[in-house]
């Protein structure tokens, strides 16, 4: 088993993506109004400082993309080039032009068969459709057939954001919880057992709400037959530690997650280097029953990604 430290939640912002989307739109999506800069050199420097051997690159959620199939194909090709140019330092989760399922299926075939990607990144909702929606069934059927890894990242909710805090602070964890609950209640977690779904940020608020969700499923007509055991469904998820380096979130996660399904994540560059350093110190020192940091830092991801 690999002893490498693997970061499964690392983003990249290639120039072709920034140019297509526009810096103004990317700035508007950030709490401080300033989109992070990214370069291969900055990513490698962050990784070296924090003892990260390999980062799995993905395009984070953002504004609506112009000509998504063409742009995301270029981004996926660029990630493959970065892998080839930096052997052993980068992997990739390919982007899919959802909610267009037909276009997404074409990109699945290309990304697996031609690029040999590690998996795919999808977002928590598309036009208000969460991932348990029947709209996505053909995609899940194909990814289940291929035994794919699917990294779920939160995006803007389909409703107005209360003026309490930026969306990334509160709404993003709730978005992850909503779409995970959608996958459980719809029965998708029971039907598509060959897909390895990764939830960002320690699952958002999911670990705290599992007993409540389980009770609700048991009370819904046909809920248990459709969804199966809620606790079993939650244990099937993988979870990353991005922006969750603390006793409260990780203690809750340890109560519901399979210890072999907890992965290290940095959220670079949307998490600044100072925050990654701070969370890293907590993770290095943390002692919670059910959290084995040797597994979290590399062994679990190595097994999942076939390293």
21-52 pLDDT, tens digit per residue, is 887 777 766 677 788 889 999 999 999 999 99
pLDDT digits (tens, 9 = 90+) for 251-289: 999 999 999 999 999 999 999 999 999 999 999 999 999
Q: Beta-carbon neighbour count of residue 235 at 10 Å?
A: 16
The two three-digit tokens of residue 165, written as one number: 């805090």
User: What is the SS3 assignment for 89?
Assistant: coil
Half-sphere exposure of 41 (CA within 13 A, CB side): 0
Distance CA 72, CA 65 (A): 9
Q: Beta-carbon neighbour count of residue 279 at 10 Å?
A: 21
Distance CA 157, CA 174 (A): 9
> How much is the pLDDT for 136?
98
> How much is the pLDDT for 267?
97
Mean pLDDT of the chain: 94
Q: Which residue has the tokens 């809920």?
A: 223
The two three-digit tokens of residue 273, written as one number: 């280097």
> Domain 6-305 has what CATH class?
alpha beta
pTM score? 0.96
Q: How far from the centroid of its chain's Cα atoms is residue 218's Cα? A: 28
pLDDT > 80? residue 250: yes
> How much is the pLDDT for 24?
73
More confident call, 40 vs 161: 40
Distance CA 190, CA 210 (A): 16
What beta strand segments (E) does the chain contain?
Answer: 6-11, 54-58, 90-95, 119-123, 125-126, 129-130, 149-153, 196-199, 238-240, 262-263
Question: Omega into 213 within 30° of 0, i.e. cis?
Answer: no
CA nearest to 123, candidates 180, 77, 51 = 180
pLDDT > 60? residue 224: yes
Min mean pLDDT across 162-171, 212-221, 255-264 is at: 162-171
The DSSP H or E segment spanning 74 is: helix 68-85
């Amino acid at each position: 088993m690999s002893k490498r430290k693997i970061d499964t939640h690392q983003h990249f912002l290639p120039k072709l993506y920034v140019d297509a989307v526009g810096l103004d739109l990317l700035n508007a999506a950030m709490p401080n109004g300033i989109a992070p800069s990214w370069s291969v050199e900055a990513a490698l420097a962050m990784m070296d400082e924090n003892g990260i051997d390999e980062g799995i690159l993905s395009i984070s959620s953002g504004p609506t993309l112009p000509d998504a199939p063409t742009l995301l194909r270029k981004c996926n090709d660029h990630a493959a080039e970065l892998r080839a140019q930096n052997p052993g330092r980068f992997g990739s989760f390919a982007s899919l032009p959802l909610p267009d399922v037909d276009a997404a299926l074409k990109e699945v075939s290309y990304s697996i068969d031609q690029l040999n990607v590690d998996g795919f990144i999808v977002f928590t909702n598309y036009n208000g459709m969460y991932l348990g929606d029947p709209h996505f069934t053909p995609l899940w059927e194909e990814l289940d057939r291929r035994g794919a890894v699917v990294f779920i990242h939160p995006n803007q909710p389909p409703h107005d954001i209360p003026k309490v805090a930026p969306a990334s602070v509160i709404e993003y964890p709730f978005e992850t919880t909503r779409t995970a609950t959608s996958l459980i209640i719809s029965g998708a977690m029971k039907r598509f057992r060959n897909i390895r779904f990764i939830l960002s940020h320690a699952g958002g608020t999911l670990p705290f709400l599992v007993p409540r969700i389980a009770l609700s499923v048991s009370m819904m007509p046909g809920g248990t037959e459709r969804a199966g055991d809620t606790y079993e469904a939650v244990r099937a998820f993988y979870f990353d530690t991005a922006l969750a380096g603390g006793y409260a979130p990780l203690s809750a996660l340890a109560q519901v997650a399979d210890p072999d399904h907890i992965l290290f994540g940095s959220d670079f560059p949307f998490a600044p280097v100072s925050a990654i350093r701070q969370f890293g110190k907590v993770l290095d020192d943390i002692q919670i029953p059910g959290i084995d940091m040797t597994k979290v830092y590399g062994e679990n991801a190595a097994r999942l990604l076939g390293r």
